[in-house]
Structure 1
Amino acid sequence: MDAQDDTATLPAVRDAAHTPDGGRPAAPSRRKKAATGTLVALAVLLTGGGVTYTWLRDRPAAEAPEGPGEARSVAVIRTDLGEQKTMAGTLGYGEATTVKGPGAGTVTWLPKAGETAERGKPLARIDDRPVTVFYGDMPLYRKLGQAPEPSAGASAKSSSPASGEPRPATTPSPGGAGDVAGPGTRGADVKILEENLYALGFRDFGRPDTLLTDATVTAVKRWQKANGDQHPSGVVDPADVRVIAVSARIGEIRAHVGDRADGELLTLTGGTRSVTVPLPVADKPLAPQGTKVTVDLPGGAKSTGTVRDVGTVAAQDGKTGSGGDGGGADSAAGDAKVKVTVSLDDPGAADGLDGAPVSVGFTSGSRTGVLAVPVGALVALREGGYAVQVTGQGAEKPHLTSVKTGMFAQGLVEVSGPEIKEGVRVVTAQ
């Protein structure tokens, strides 16, 4: 019966309340009242039902609600799982070291940011003289090289070395910047000078050692002439070189050509990109030197890295604790962090980025050779715990089997149970 047929019953219900002779309507009985109410309600319901049907029938298909994603089956696998703890880090070139000018003179040339500072190359030019990069673990602190001319009246013995003996060294007087430590001088700075000259191909003195000789002076003059000095002095002034540990990257240029050379010239950073992570002291055991980590870069790129250095000084990450009742001190101790430096296994993964926030994953636990399924395969049981749905083979029907879960990692979960074996197929969410 359609909606129109149902509504046609309404006049019959109305006329049933009148007498056959057309007089005043008789008082309806309770049964008639109930029948009348039922028929009216039924008519309204069916009419509404017809409207509802029409609305659903005419509704565009795009508005239909989507059902759950299709399920698929996967095999139980045997694998190694690693649980990770993720920390925020910063991609960059490490801490910057400031290079200052020698004090006197005018800046006549500066390199460009991003260039490499390496042995034998100029770091700057002051009064058109190069400040050359040397490698070493300490700066030169005195002038080394050509001995000063002997004063009038000096004995021939004092002005020339005895056979087989080094020439006596000139001893600088306190504050005597003009004094030169000449042949016969011994010291760690002499060895740094000779090591760098030797590496650059000026080897007149033989193997580097701590004794400065006339042969060292000859090597210095040859090096100076190769650097464009037409009147080599044979003396290396501390202002002529900048000793750094290894090659570095030119960071920020802080001076301009024409400035006086008595301020900051530029900064040096590490030569390769690395990641710095402020690691809570409590998590320091997660990052021994040489540990492998994962690095999530901006834009979704992923890489791996190796812990290169672990700091030994704990700080509160730039914050200071509050005083008072001592609670601030406890908080400061709890927030203390050490700096961990991570080198990227593939530096090219961060090409185009000189600095960026990254996420670093440290392995906090691992399981080897366990059976695992995707986390989406777990079914929560009403009585507690989990199960997986085994697809069944042959005459066996799909069914649930309870499992015991272990480590969750990498989108997988360790599972065990009577029916859980490698290769068994289970249902997982698409």
Structure 2
Amino acid sequence: MHDDRTEMLPAVRADDGPAPGGEASPGRRRVSRRAWLTAAAVAGVLAVTAGGIALTWTGTGSGGPRAEGPAAGQTAEVKRTDLSQQKSLSGTLGFGAPATVKGRGTGTVTWLPKTGATLDRGGQLARVDDRPVTVFRGGMPLYRTLGAPVVSGSTPAAGSTPAAGSTPAPGNTRGPQDTGKPGATPRPTEPAGGDAAVGEVAGPGTKGADVRLLEENLYALGYHDFGRPDETLTDATVTAIKRWQKSQGMREPTGRVAPGDVAVLPGKVRVGEIKAHLGDSATEDLMVVTGTDRVVTVPMAVNDLNLASRGNKVTVTLPGGRSAQGKVAEVGTVATGGGGNGKDGQGGGSGGGDQGDSGEQAKVRVTVALDDPSAAGGLDGAQVTVDFASERRDGVLAVPVGALVALREGGYALQLPAAAGTKPQLVPVTTGMFAKGLVEVSGPGVKDGMKVVSTA
């Protein structure tokens, strides 16, 4: 009587080895049929579980524990790697969330930038009555006129509407477009809006966050008369304003900045769409702007927001099958949709309560920044797929799923390649995450680089 069982490490046996004499034993004949069943069962479990596989056979014959697994011949290597399970969502490649810029001064729009132009601090957003509306950076708009007060009875800047009670200088007939040079480009004589549009002026001694914003922008543009920016407007601030206005081409600087003179933006922007036309009133919507870098926006259901923590790594599949790596840059705070929930910004706070009658879940805008924006090539916009990791395991040992040997009494092992004339050996393992055809394994004797028998 001979022993047809393989050796287990450290202390279990399997009947997947050949019987002495070269003929397959009855146990071996069962292996070929059950090996197919094992592969089918593993594939079925992979489709429904993320934590591992649980397959158990009840032994009916005598002898030690039985195992089903790959036949000897093809090998794989135990490797240390990162595993992640992913959820794929549709997104849009573009330049980020759009924002509408509305004119705030009085007058007529006389110049607008082109679509695709980049606007930054110190540049022109537009021209109103042929006077520049300058871009400032900040988190709030100017809401009052800051600078030198209008003195009753004084002569206003050329081209402006005289303040109440004041008298124009005799013989002053020059208009705002009169440059004195035929064919020359008109030079501004006063910021857009003029004193007639600003009302009361907040002069020296005024304190506020808007004063700091004004001084921070003047300082960034090179005007340091007032020292370091703070929240107090002084005569030195007025001096800096006049110097800045003179550099902008104003012949008679007023020392005042009105809300319509500047457009406060959060940073450098790209003109995505022009809304106004030349000749429109400066109080209308002027344009739509976006960020300057190409990003991907994903409308994500509130129940999936655990996938989108700021800084999480993602993979973006671009048109044509190209892939680019990226990170979650921003997660919105306003949920929209959901059959009515979230439209007022209150939706998406609880599990099932964010669905309306249609069953559609409220969604939040998630912004993904590409690690290399140039990976998008020349595309300014496209539909893409974004893979978010739902679970991640870094630096674990893993093998192809086909290397698992399912033990009849439960659990798994890896089969070591056997030399000619020797019995195969099995190393018991504990399984972890399954992802992309790999399975995490651990256990005594499992090492990085170890060769194991595998079906794939």
- Secondary structure of the residue aligned to 2:367 is strand
Match of residue 409, structure 1, among 432, 435, 438: 435
Larger RCO: Structure 1 or Structure 2 (Cα < 8 Å, ≥ 6 residues apart)? 2
Aligned to 2:251, what secondary structure does the other structure show? coil
361-370 vs 344-353, which moves further: 361-370
Question: Hey, what does 1:289 align to over in structure 2?
Answer: 310
In the superposition, relative to structure 1, how do residues 235 and 285 fare at CA in structure 2: closer, same or farther (>3 Å)? Answer: same
Q: Is the 8 A contact 1:79 1:372 kept in 2?
A: yes
Structure 2 CA distance for partners of 1:233 and 1:349, relative to 1, 3 Å? same
Following TM superposition, by how much is the alpha carbon of 1:333 offset from its aligned partner in structure 2, in angstroms?
A: 7.8
Name the counterpart of 1:67.
none
**AA of the residue aligned to 1:116:** T
After superposition, give the CA deviation of every residue in 1:343-379 in whole Å (9 maximum; x if it has no partner): 2222221232222222222222233554322346568
Question: What is the CA distance between 1:268 and its match in structure 2?
Answer: 1.2
- In structure 2, C-alpha distance between the alignment counterparts of 1:287 and 1:299, rounded to whole Å: 25
Q: Is the 8 A contact 1:406 1:413 kept in 2?
A: yes
Equivalent in 218, 242, 245 of residue 224 of structure 1: 245
Structure-2 residue corresponding to 1:133: 135
- Number of equivalences: 332
SS at match of 2:380: coil
CA offsets, 1:287-344, max 9 Å, x none? 2222222222222222222222222333336x448xxxx9996666871232222222
Please tell me whether residue 364 in structure 1 is matched to residue 385 in structure 2: no
8 Å contact kept, 1:280–1:337: yes
Offset, 1:239: 0.8
Rounded Cα–Cα distance in structure 1 between residues aligned with 2:149 and 2:360: 59
Gap change, CA 1:233 and 1:382, over 3 Å in 2: same
1: CA distance, partners of 2:403 / 2:114: 56
The one-letter code of the counterpart of 1:130 is: P
Structure 2 equivalent of residue 118 of structure 1: 120
- Residue aligning to 1:203: 224
For residues 372 and 115 of structure 2, the distance between their equivalents in structure 1, rounded to whole angstroms, comes to: 23
Query: With structure 2 as the length reference, what TM-score do the two structures score?
Result: 0.63
Stretches of structure 2 that go unaligned for 5 or more consecutive residues are: 1-72, 155-195, 342-351
Q: What does 1:344-355 align with in structure 2 at a 5 Å threshold?
A: 344-355=370-381
Q: CA deviation at 1:394?
A: 4.8
CA RMSD of aligned residues (A): 3.5
Give the alignment partner of residue 146 of structure 1, picking from 140, 145, 148: 148
- Secondary structure at the aligned position of 1:311 is classed as strand
1:281 and 1:216 map into 2 onto residues whose CA distance is: 48
Which letter maps to 2:433? M
Q: Is residue 390–residue 427 contact of structure 1 (8 Å, CA) maintained in 2?
A: no
Match of 1:269 in 2: 290
Query: Following superposition of structure 1 onto structure 2, how do residues 211-360 of structure 1 map, counting pairs within 5 Å?
Result: 211-316=232-337, 319-320=339-340, 335-360=361-386
CA distance 1:384–1:359, shift in 2 (3 Å): farther
Report runs of 4+ in structure 1 exceeding 6 Å deviation: 378-389, 397-404, 416-420
User: Cα–Cα, structure 1 residues 329 and 300, in superposed 2: closer, same or farther, change >3 Å?
Assistant: closer
**Larger displacement relative to structure 2 (266-275 or 74-83):** 74-83
SS in 2 for 1:314: strand
1:220 match: secondary structure: helix
Q: How far did 1:229 drift? A: 1.6
- TM-superposed deviation, 1:387: 8.3
Counterparts of 2:205 and 2:318, CA distance in 1: 56
Deviation by residue 1:254-305 (Cα, 9 ceiling, x = unmatched)? 2233434342211111232222222222222222222222222222222222
Separation of aligned partners in 2, 1:247 and 1:312 = 23
Equivalent AA in structure 1 for residue 450 of structure 2 = G
Q: Percent identity?
A: 59
| Displacement of 1:75 | 1.9
Shift of 1:111: 1.3
Note the alpha carbon deviations across 1:51-76, whole angstroms, 9 max, x for none.
xxxxxxxxxxxxxxxxxxxx964323
**8 Å CA contact 1:103, 1:263 repeated in 2:** no
1:189 aligns with 2:210: yes
Aligned counterpart for 1:97 among listed residues 96, 99, 103: 99
Equivalent of residue 453 in structure 2, options 418, 426, 430: 426
Secondary structure of the residue aligned to 1:313 is strand
Between structure 1 and structure 2, the one with the greater Rg is: 1
